[in-house]
Amino acid sequence: MTRPRRKNPCAPWRRAVVTGGAGFLGSHLCERLLDSGVEVDCVDNLLSGSRGNVAHLVARPGFRFVEHDVCAPDCADALPGPYDLVLHFACCASPADYLRLPLETLDAGSLGTRALLALAERDGARFLLASTSEVYGDPLVHPQREDYWGNVNPVGPRSVYDESKRFAEALVTAHARALGADAGIVRLFNTYGPRMRAHDGRAVPTFVCQALAGEPLTVAGDGSQTRSLCYVDDTVDGILLVAASRSVRPVNIGGTDEVTVADIARRVLELTGSSSSVEFVARPADDPQRRRPDTRLARELLGWTPQVPWEEGIKQTIAYFAAARPAPDPLSRH
């Protein structure tokens, strides 16, 4: 996939630490930083990440994988640095994971964020928190601007993720105000692409894998709820531009391609050529009805807009999952 690249924002950094670096998005960040000449310590406890996501990076100069829990008391000892960039992306981001690991999800936003803020303060590094559109909950304002406070159920099944990120944002803001920390927040919307896990509960990988397997595509509710898709390359561009800025206030990074979940399923069927049917299933509690970021701040502050059309991004994602599927056994009986 070829497209014009923006000006490289990685020039100011020599060494970065990426927590959650063996996850879907973290692994792409590690790769982009390495490609830009930045040394990278990739930290992951592998609760939801995979060594396979960074296996192609292990032999590269400047890359180090550290299997460690950032919530552990010895976090600073495990990461001696020094760093000039700290990217905190360690957290269970998919419904399948944060529902399975609720306390670990809350710890990542609280204990983990405090530990990484202290690490950045120790080294005088720029700190960036990966937050999420989930801080807006099931929004009553559309599209969602950064100054919207959100509509979150603090005791609902999704609250462990939503409130973990909201508390983490409060920690980052308090450090910036009280201590003058060079700390920022990026709020990410519906990123998709290669290295997502097949069964993590998010729409794109679920539909792609079901279509490739010839299984019904399971659409929650009536499928009218919307999402705004953003291909991972565009999301990484936005993250690094926010990191390279001096912005303290949260910045939305997400696609402007707002589509219904039913439309996502139809697109996947069209591009895979699958004859799978669509099956409507129960909708999860507190599932947001509408989601689209107002990205005016990212556009005006950073010059960032998404570049990858949905068709191109979905094709790349389909190709990844198609290559990852085991080949059929020619001797098996059907």
CA distance 26 to 36: 15
Q: At what angle do helices 203-212 and 261-272 cross, to 10 degrees?
A: 30
> Cα 143–144–150 angle (5° rounding)?
135
Smallest CA-to-CA distance from 88 within 26, 34, 158 is with: 26
> Cα 105–111–117 angle (5° rounding)?
120
CA distance 120 to 325: 40
Catalytic-residue membership of 136: no
**Neighbouring residues of 1: CB distance < 8 A, sequence distance ≥ 6:** 233, 308, 312, 316
Bond prior to 250 in cis (omega within 30° of 0):
no
CA distance 135 to 151: 8
**Rounded CA Rg of the chain:** 19
**Neighbouring residues of 149: CB distance < 8 A, sequence distance ≥ 6:** none
Q: Which of 83, 98, 136, 161 is catalytic?
A: 161
CA distance 34 to 58: 11
CA distance 68 to 80: 13
Q: Are strands 257-260 and 226-231 parallel, antiparallel or unpaired?
A: antiparallel
Task: Label residues 129-158 b or e (16+ Cβ within 10 Å = b).
Answer: bbbbbbbbbbbeeebbbbebebebeeeeeb
Smallest CA-to-CA distance from 83 within 276, 269, 243 is with: 243
CA distance 109 to 112: 6
Q: Would you please indicate which residues are annotated as catalytic (active-site) residues?
A: 161
